[in-house]
Amino acid sequence: MKTVGVIAGAGRVPVLGVRAALAKGWRVFAVALAPGGVSAGQGDTAWTGSACAALQEAGAECQTMPVGEYARIVEAFTERGVREIYVLGKLPKTALYGEPLDSAVRDVLASRAGQGDHALIEAFIADLARRGLAVRPQSELFAEHIVPPGFAAGRPLSTREEADVRYGYMVARRLADVADAGQTVVVKDGIVLALEAAEGTDAAIRRGGQLGGPGAVVVKVKGCRGIDFELPAVGLETLAAVEDAQAAVLAVEAGRILLLEREAVLRRVEELGIALVAVTGEDAS
């Protein structure tokens, strides 16, 4: 029986990933990332790392390590004979600010300075491969969670909301594809209220609500990048941000976004009286 590794950030995705890996008959060793510097209270304000207890309860062996101790993390996997890993969960960009970083992670960061988010992800994937660890696509674990084209839940969209979804999708794709900066936008009446940057999706949604008030449209995309080692996800935490922002619509890119805790999310969408829809480039044209 092979052992696969999980680098676990915050949120529900690591636990779901562990369960999916175990269901395939694999053993799982997880490294739960923990903040070790001043960054834990910034960005997606609740980022406090990943809890080993939840991963162990799901069935994984687990060890907690500071996010900046990259060489130690790699060593922990190789010592256990791990050759394939999944990177799961939230790790806001701000998680590296103020952290003590070892020389290995500083070298990777320096190699892609100024080249955008996906260039940095690619650099870490390439470096891990050189160290004997192949990063596997998340789609191998979460195929059934990917939002399909035509998906819709909750109430129908108004004409104004449909227009905002089309516009928001166009802006979000440019943010992700051209700027390579974020994946979420908040729009109302054709006006962009918030663009996701280092603060993360949930904080960007709340900021858009603060600026525009009730009735905004939230659009989240993956973009054209071919990497599916890191698929954006929406779930109950996303809906909590939508509720706080008093937004009316959550639109996600079909075939490129994970929908977590599906049944609970659908119930919550109905309770909030909002719309949850999948959108494609054809829908937005």
pLDDT above 70 (res 242): yes
For 6, left (φ over 0), alpha (ψ -120 to 50), or beta? beta
pLDDT tens-digit profile of 168-217? 999 999 998 887 778 999 999 999 999 998 888 999 999 999 999 999 99
H helical segments located in the chain = 13-23, 52-58, 70-79, 103-111, 117-130, 139-142, 159-174, 201-212, 236-245, 262-272, 281-284
Distance (Å, rounded) from C-alpha 144 to C-alpha 23?
A: 14
pLDDT above 70 (res 218): yes
Which tokens belong to 151?
A: 């998906």
pLDDT above 80 (res 48): no
pLDDT above 90 (res 10): no
Confidence of residue 122 (pLDDT cuts 50, 70, 90): confident
pLDDT tens-digit profile of 24-33? 999 999 999 9
Distance (Å, rounded) from C-alpha 259 to C-alpha 262?
A: 6
pLDDT tens-digit profile of 64-100? 999 889 999 999 999 999 999 999 988 776 666 667 8
Structural domains of the chain sorted by starting position, each given as residue range(s) with its CATH number in brackets: 3-136 (3.40.50.20), 144-284 (3.40.140.80)
Distance (Å, rounded) from C-alpha 269 to C-alpha 51?
A: 28
